[in-house]
Structure 1
Amino acid sequence: MDKKPFFVHDTAIIDAAVKIGEGTKIWHFSHISESVKIGKNCVIGQNVFIGRNVKIGNGVKIQNNVSVYEGVEIEDDVFIGPSVVFTNVINPRAFVERKTEFKPTIIKKGATLGANSTIICGHDIGAYAFIGAGSVLTKAVQDFELWYGNPATKHGMVDKEGNICK
């Protein structure tokens, strides 16, 4: 039996045509939908759902209880805290089909999304930006910006390591 270059827990579900990079770990009760691409050395926590056609870069950490829906792209070295919420439709209704109206969201290299933050679709988050825990993000964020609150607003800048700049 060939040993795979990545780890998938026995309870995880991996659909067809998924590409998983070397050194990646996918933990308990996660579901990776078809045609997903996950880079090298990623950690996909417990109870994570990744929707169809999502692209995830190298070195990404997605903590427990996160759903990454179709339309979201995550670049390299992004940290996504526990229970982060992504949306992909602006005006959802259970009785209206809107799969052709997904609004793309890109989380750029090195960004951090704090625990329980909500990212409204169609708003990109810049490289090394930092979104504080519990924030509701309704606007685009530029590189190295620090945003938090409900609704989230800009509160300064951070450096590459996530330290607040004075």
Structure 2
Amino acid sequence: MKLSEIAARIGGEIKGAAESPSWRNIDIKNIADIESAEPGEITFISNPKYRAALKKTRASAVIIQSGMETDIPSVICRNPYLGFAKTISLFRDPPPRPCAGINPLASVSEGFIADDAAIDAFVVVSKNAKVGRGTAIMPHVFIGEGAEIGDNCFIYPNVTVREKVKVGNNVIIHSGSVIGSDGYGYVQDEGIHKKIPQAGNVVICDNVEIGANVCIDRAALSETFIGEGTKIDNLVHIAHNVKIGKHCLILGQTGIAGSTVIGDYTTLASQSGISGHLKIGNHVTVAARGGVIKDIPDGALVSGFPARDHREMLKVHAATMRLPEILDMFRKMKKGET
């Protein structure tokens, strides 16, 4: 593929320190990271910390942002990382998917399966379930009674979608995830923990992606809700009655306790822990391993346990690092007194 075609298809512009018309005709055969790229490949750089690697790369071309100087043939993009993502799709085939139709080895009860949906071997689709147009369901997936799967979804092997769960359009669910498992609800009676029936459901809105081995519990009465465009990493647990807004990022090993409400465009970094019955605002960032035990207002950046304003937490860390020095000073003062 010519470099000019790549630039056109990702919305970039060919430019560089030694600009030459011949750059437009450079043949690009693959895409690679900046350190391993070879001649005939295109790479990208979006983080200035890798600028030194740009001088050493063997790539034939690079995707960069405006203002970054290099002698390598370049495609200038407003967002090089987005340009990189678009370029990958030019050189990589999409994941294999089953052919449209119902595999003879699938078990499909009475319900609605769109004509062009693909139901692979050993899938179980229960009574009154619905599967929308263009949706592909890979082997060993279980779709519970009355569940609804929207259009153009892709469900990888060994996923469980329990009864009454509603999944929107263009949703991706990766292997091992369980959507609609019972919420963790018990009441003690005479020293015995008795289960509270979890009679609600889960609603997954359009354009959500759910990573591998994620558990999203059904609500006790109403719904656990995942808003449009939210992306959930692997190994995340979302408890019953949680409501997550639009376009949030929930990173790996995060846990969100029951009935917490999270606003739009909020990021929970890896291993965050969110207590139950809280309100987390819009455009909030919880740093990795942050432990949230109270409400957080819009736009806040918090870290640590208990989570607090990140700038304040940095001061706490700085003071903590001085504790050995302070303790040593205290011991010397004590000896002087005696």
2:215 match? 85
Provide closer, same or farther for how the CA distance between residues 102 and 14 of structure 1 changes in structure 2, counting only shifts above 3 A: same
Structure 1 residue runs of 4 or more that deviate by more than 3 Å after TM superposition: none
Question: Is 2:247 aligned against 1:128?
Answer: yes
- Separation in 1 of the partners of 2:231 and 2:122? 28
Instruction: In structure 2, give the amino acid aligned to 1:144.
Output: Y
Question: Is 2:253 aligned against 1:142?
Answer: no
2:234 match? 115
Q: After alignment, is 80-89 or 7-16 more displaced?
A: 80-89
Give aligned-pair identity as a percent.
Answer: 24
1:41-56 equivalence runs, <5 A: 41-56=152-167
Q: CA deviation at 1:103?
A: 5.3
Bigger radius of gyration, 1 or 2? 2
Instruction: In structure 1, give the amino acid aligned to 2:262.
Output: V
User: The residue matched to 1:72 in structure 2 has which SS?
Assistant: strand
Q: CA deviation at 1:155?
A: 2.1
User: The residue matched to 2:285 in structure 1 has which SS?
Assistant: strand
What are structure 1's unaligned runs of at least 5 residues?
A: 90-100, 158-166
Instruction: In structure 1, give the amino acid aligned to 2:243.
Output: D
1:164 match? none
Task: Give the TM-score taking structure 1 as reference length.
Answer: 0.80
Task: Give the TM-score taking structure 2 as reference length.
Answer: 0.41
**Larger helix proportion, structure 1 or 2?**
2
Instruction: In structure 2, give the amino acid aligned to 1:137.
Output: I
User: The residue matched to 1:73 in structure 2 has which SS?
Assistant: strand
- Separation in 2 of the partners of 1:103 and 1:40? 24
1:33 match? 144
Aligned pair partner of 1:13 in 124, 128, 132: 124
The alignment covers a number of residue pairs equal to 145
8 Å CA contact retained: 1:42, 1:59 = yes
Query: Cα deviations across residues 89-129 of structure 1 (Å, max 9, x unaligned)?
Result: 6xxxxxxxxxxx34521101000111001001111110001
- Separation in 1 of the partners of 2:218 and 2:166? 14
- Separation in 2 of the partners of 1:107 and 1:88? 11
Query: Cα deviations across residues 52-74 of structure 1 (Å, max 9, x unaligned)?
Result: 11111000000000111161110
User: The residue matched to 2:244 in structure 1 has which SS?
Assistant: coil
What are structure 2's unaligned runs of at least 5 residues?
A: 1-99, 102-114, 181-199, 275-279, 287-298, 300-338
Query: Cα deviations across residues 27-71 of structure 1 (Å, max 9, x unaligned)?
Result: 111110111111110011110111111111000000000111161
- Separation in 1 of the partners of 2:221 and 2:268? 24
2:273 match? 151
